[in-house]
Chains A and B, each alone.
Chain A
Amino acid sequence: MISAEATALTTTTESPQTSSEVVPMWRQRWRIFRHNKLAVISLGYLIVITLACYLVPWLHPTNQTNQAATFNVPWNAPPSAAHLLGTDSSGFDELGRIFYGGEYSLTLGFLAGFITIIVGTVYGMVSGFFGGIVDTVLMRIVDAVLSIPYLFLLIALISVFGRSTMFLILVIGLSGWFGNSRIVRGDALLIKNLEYSQAATAMGAGKAHIIRRHVFPNSISNIVTVATFSVADAILFLSALGFLGLGIQTPQTDWGTMLQAGAYQLQNGFWWEVYPLAIVFILVVVSLNYIGDALRDAFEVRLIER
């Protein structure tokens, strides 16, 4: 593990290199990451799908919200030239709807995952770094919340706080960070007792300085890895909520709601309403998990718990 100073040195050196070439940290990591072909393919796929979900509804708009305008459109129509993946049970174009729903699923997944990692990091850092009674109290709270099965917790929070899109992001984000905080806390606890942190303390560095320059930079690897898994989990949990009817409200939609509606049409033989989306969806989650695994290797850390 290379300390913050080394990172700072390598990235701020602007003078032309003389003999031994100093490779910036991120480039070394990228080299290891790049070595993992599956992870690179996953990353490419994720970028393509994300771009498509945000750009296609804008470049090639299809009617996805106006139920009245679907009057002339055949419902549950099989794939044809006009509708490449057919239409769904409301007459909306299925291909366009995959991207339209993806916009919501991905936005919510990324935002909620982002919240879980920010809150989890701050909480875990404080708990691990200050230790003692603060740590005990903060960690018992985490134990308690983690003992509530997550889906039950989500449902309870949604039934109390309501289910607008904004609340969904907040509820998934603010209830999903407890596991992350445990991992960050473990890192902080470890790093604050390492020699370089102690040396900094001996030289008179304040707590804020040590957190900023030593603890945080050295636990960033774990944080980034966990963030990837958090986004995957957030997307999965959002889809579960969509299935339960607690997801995005009509006429908007998300992948979970669409998969649920589509799966019930399978017995009528309308395969195009579920299989294309299912493949897109599963590959998104698989990709995120592969990227997370590859990041973990790239950072060479031992992750004890997801």
Chain B
Amino acid sequence: MLAYIIRRIIQSIIVVLIVLFITFSLPYFQPHGIVAPAYVVYGTKATPANIALWAHQNGMDQPFLVRFWQYITQLLLHFNLGHSYKQNMSVWTIIKLYVPRTIWLALTSLILATAIGLVVGIVQASRRNTVFDYTATGTVFILYSVPTFLLSLLLIDLFAFHWPHLPASPPTGVAPWAMFTDPKGFVLPVAALTLLSVAGLSRFFRGAVLEVLVQDYIRTARAKGCGNWRVLFRHAFRNALGPIITLLGLYIPGLLGGALIIESVFNYEGLGLQTLNAALNLDIPTVLGITLLASLLTVAGNLLADVMLGLVNPRIRIEGGGR
């Protein structure tokens, strides 16, 4: 188990290094290359001499690999992701401000979506090819094909304007955990992200449970007189847990992408909204800093999923490997 975890950690570090390389290299491709900030600093006084001076003062004239090394050490030792072009803050400050909000939104929705998706998936799998199965599959198919923003805007139209029971956007300037103290404003964004995630996950949950239900040990359990619910939850569910955990790990990028859209529809102050505003203002350090963080969250999530997989699946634990 330990060897397995160590190998997964080394793999993750390599992946993170490649992502770092990508986010480090991208600014070279922006208009004016990496000296672009100098044009913002100097404005109309951006003469070639001034630009060269700025590049020298900020170490932008050093070789690529030297700068890459500095980038990594600055990031690891000082969390230094550079300075925003547009906001008078470092990128790290922006991230620290907004990351908790996005994580609360994403986690709450993921937990709700997993619960709903599991129930729907298990019931679908155990009543395969019935009216319920077809209806649920069709609903999920359509839900999957509706653009996230449209779904969110329709929710707003229904519940904030037609039947005005819920506010169209959460309160601003409140604590990150306000979702739990004053939940009314957060119902719609959480509902939108949950629906989206259910659409993405329940099809796979159904498949995972279905794959287990055809196994011999399920037939054995039935033959021994096990009740339907006991078979489903004691035997099928526990064995389907492995693929389900892997799926949840793989779903994290989709979750963060969905959160980005939902944050901008509902004007929810999170990382997604910050990324979007930064992108529209061509604030490249902020965009790249948040992108790096999003991919770190994904890698960490996948790692966690794999470790949990080892915990629930004795075969991986004992063999200490088996990719």
Q: Is B103 part of the contact surface with A, judged by Cβ < 8 Å?
A: no
Given the known A-B contacts A141-B18, A147-B253, are A289 and B145 also in contact in the complex, defined by CB atoms under 8 Å?
yes
Q: Are A244 and B291 in contact (CB under 8 A)?
A: no
- Size of A's binding interface in residues, CB under 8 A: 45
- B296-320 near A? 1/0 per residue, CB < 8 Å: 0011001000000000000000000
Measured between beta carbons, the chain A residues less than 8 angstroms from B288 are 156
Q: Are A243 and B149 in contact (CB under 8 A)?
A: yes
- Size of B's binding interface in residues, CB under 8 A: 52
Measured between beta carbons, the chain A residues less than 8 angstroms from B59 are none
Q: Is B75 part of the contact surface with A, judged by Cβ < 8 Å?
A: no
- B9-23 near A? 1/0 per residue, CB < 8 Å: 001001110110011
- Return the contact of A160 from the options B27, B144, B252, B257 (Cβ within 8 A): B27
Given the known A-B contacts A236-B145, A240-B149, A289-B141, are A159 and B294 also in contact in the complex, defined by CB atoms under 8 Å?
no
Q: Is the interface of A mostly helix, strand, loop or mixed?
A: helix
Q: Is B154 part of the contact surface with A, judged by Cβ < 8 Å?
A: yes
Measured between beta carbons, the chain B residues less than 8 angstroms from A30 are none
Shortest distance in angstroms between A271's beta carbon and chain B's nearest beta carbon?
Answer: 10
Q: Are B145 and A285 in contact (CB under 8 A)?
A: yes
Could you tell me the distance between the alpha carbons of A152 and B287 in the complex, rounded to whole angstroms? 8
Could you tell me the distance between the alpha carbons of A68 and B141 in the complex, rounded to whole angstroms? 42
Could you tell me the distance between the alpha carbons of A289 and B161 in the complex, rounded to whole angstroms? 33
Shortest distance in angstroms between A43's beta carbon and chain B's nearest beta carbon?
Answer: 16
Q: Are B295 and A148 in contact (CB under 8 A)?
A: yes
Measured between beta carbons, the chain B residues less than 8 angstroms from A236 are 145, 147
Q: Are A144 and B261 in contact (CB under 8 A)?
A: no
Name the interface residues of B129-179: CB closer than 8 Å to any CB of A: 141-142, 144-150, 153-154, 157, 161
Q: Is B192 part of the contact surface with A, judged by Cβ < 8 Å?
A: no
Q: Is B278 part of the contact surface with A, judged by Cβ < 8 Å?
A: yes
Shortest distance in angstroms between B106's beta carbon and chain A's nearest beta carbon?
Answer: 11
Q: Is A96 part of the contact surface with B, judged by Cβ < 8 Å?
A: no
Measured between beta carbons, the chain A residues less than 8 angstroms from B146 are 278, 282
Q: Are B30 and A147 in contact (CB under 8 A)?
A: no
Q: Is A267 part of the contact surface with B, judged by Cβ < 8 Å?
A: yes
Shortest distance in angstroms between B20's beta carbon and chain A's nearest beta carbon?
Answer: 9
Which B residues contact A (CB, under 8 angstroms)? Answer: 11, 14-16, 18-19, 22-23, 26-27, 29-31, 141-142, 144-150, 153-154, 157, 161, 250, 252-254, 256-257, 260-261, 264, 275-276, 278-280, 282-284, 287-288, 290-291, 294-295, 298-299, 302
Pull 14 A–B residue pairs with CB atoms less than 8 Å apart, ordered by A. Answer: A144-B14, A148-B19, A148-B22, A148-B294, A149-B294, A149-B298, A151-B261, A155-B276, A156-B26, A162-B31, A239-B149, A244-B261, A245-B280, A278-B150
Sample of 13 more A-B contacts, CB < 8 Å, known A147-B295, A148-B291, A243-B149:
A148-B22, A148-B295, A149-B253, A151-B260, A160-B26, A160-B27, A160-B30, A236-B145, A246-B280, A259-B150, A278-B146, A282-B145, A289-B141
